[in-house]
Chain A
Amino acid sequence: MKQITLNKWKRLSALLLALVMAFALVSCGSTSDGSAAPSASAPASDAEPAAPTDSAAPAQEGDAAPAQESASSDLAADQTLNLLLSTSTVNVLEPNGASWVGEAQIYAETQAGLLRIVTDEDGNDSYVADGAEDYVISDDGLTYTFYLRDNTWSDGVPVTAQDYVYSFFRNLDPENGFSTTQYVDVKNAQAYYDGEITDPAEVGISAPDDHTVVYTLEHPNSEFIYYLAYRSGFPARQDVIEAATSQYGTDYTEMVFSGPFKITSWVKDNSVTLEKNETYWDADNVYLNTVKFQLVPEISTQATLFDAQQLDVVEYNDDYGEDWLAQADAGQIRYISKPGAYSNFLMFACENGGNSGLMGSAKIRLALSLAIDRQELVDVIWGRNEAAYTYVPPACLVGTTEFNVTGEGLVKELQAQYATDEQLQALFQEGLTELNSSLALSDVYLDFVRQSNTLAEQNEVEYLAQTWERRLGIHINVVNTPDDEERQQQMDYDIGLNSWEGGASPYDYLFVVNVPFGLKYLTGVYTNEEVNGLLANVTAIPDETEQANVYHQIENIILEEGGVGPLYFTDIRYFVQTDVQGLHFTNFGAAAIEFSHAYIAAE
């Protein structure tokens, strides 16, 4: 953490999150979509949100938000929440242009999107309606109609359907360079983006009146609705944006807000302060008056702040974990822990065989992957996280069907099969023979490129390299350059570290071996015809069990061929001050810590 070089892990994870926003599926939503479309009740001014899930503010830890009437007695006088600003860039605080996790955290709390991601009683991600009050999906699955609430921008102007349409077209404008992957399914969006059609009216989004937004898709996609919890699912004000003197979202004084909070202070690269937005439709149920985000690069400083109760939420850290766990046991602080969906894996330069020319061999890749003791890696390097024997994290479901199981998987089975160094070396040797290579194992030199240069990852890389050298008798050359990402793009390596966080469906993890754009480099451009064929049709399979079987089939091919070498799944671990109630720690939400309805309890 002390590295002042831009923490590349955070950068990449942020990037991934930006992508996740495009592809994310929200776990428990899968059960309710389509069929769960509520009856088209007319938009009402009822304060009770008619959300697809039951409560507007289910508390993550099971404690309910205070009821409106009794709230005042339960609440502390000072409703201030102190959080850390993510160490990655925080620079564009509006939904369309944001690229990083820290930015998403803030835009999600200062704007009212159609949907808001929260967590349910089990701690799984879920969503509630926010800017929309209600929606209808047509029977053919092609038309999504959203009925908006009476919400008001912080400057007093009503939020209209046109604001959502404008937001959509902002993302679709190539000149802006914003993420556009969200719209692949919307009718004519691609053609409009490519300039083949120029009339916005032909694009599948419209606002028949001020309170209605209609999306029309090219083909049915049951996952489409979850895209709307991100980016252009949030409204944008055309007049304000066009009047802005600098890029909109970089100067808070020129911005307007539609969400629970508004930005009242922003010291670049240092802190962001939010205050309650009284014009938000549900302002009565927003209890926090002030939320302060502070950038604190040093872990030890974070710890000092947390111990001094000047910080309300802090992430688990190996160094302080034991002390804090003891405090949590004593009831002085709360410990939040749940499995995460971040899959960390080895990638191999499959496309060109890498610098050594050997990475084209499935057996060599598999030998490298199987040589690593995942549990030991997790224990030694991280002191947290879950060992991975599959590529798709166990957090993923196929519909309601469980998919993978923690601590088990094909990798474990294969490791039992190739348990000894001799067996692994024989496997590697077989790969060499297949490539008609006359190299002896001791003549093999592989370039290993890391993802970031954080201290933990430096140790991880050292551990992995030593393990390979010891067990396989080959040589590993750890590449120390600041251009890791570029090397990955140019396939200028043999082995690399990478990570990916998709949504709740295995598809979101498996598709990266067969996608356009830069994503294919995530897995060293591993391709397999059979996998591609299966992937093309898997989402159309109606039966969950059958679908899960195909997913397993795909994953097993990838693992057996060493397409990726899964290492571990990053878990979610936080410590929270006891008086802070109603926080939601989401896996896939734009806001990693959802606090719109949180409050500080009286002592």
Chain B
Amino acid sequence: MIPETLKISLEARVASAITAREAAVDVMKELQAHYGWLTDEAVEEAATLLGLSPLQVEELATFYEMIYRRPVGKKVIHVCDSISCWCADCDKIIQYLKDKLGVGLGGTTADGMFTLIPCCCMGMCGDSPAMSVGGTPYGRLTTELVDEILEAERHKA
């Protein structure tokens, strides 16, 4: 269950929308930030807040790349594999991430820290290869830089 304060702020967000469901993406994002991923319970809660059926929320939740309908690690790594990053040898970076974290694509590290997911173009083509960790973008990746970033992100709250 979500705390009363979050519920009140989400109700206010929905009330300010032109139609309630217009706020759906904002509501899903907030609930995901609270639970760590969009749990079944969160889908039900979003539906109540938005005046939709859980199925209607599910239709949205499963559509967006950054809404997670399964448990993920504390920080999700989205690593770009689109064409500009391919030109900058992103395959090597992706392989390095897999080896270093000991997971396949979609996998979460044993300590629950990171989930590794490939993503499409991040708009960082001028600084490829690129990835984001917990929402922070990083470009011009090398294997050494990846080491540094993961180390820093591990200790950053």
Do A and B belong to a common assembly?
Answer: no
| Residues of chain A having any CB pair with chain B under 8 Å | none
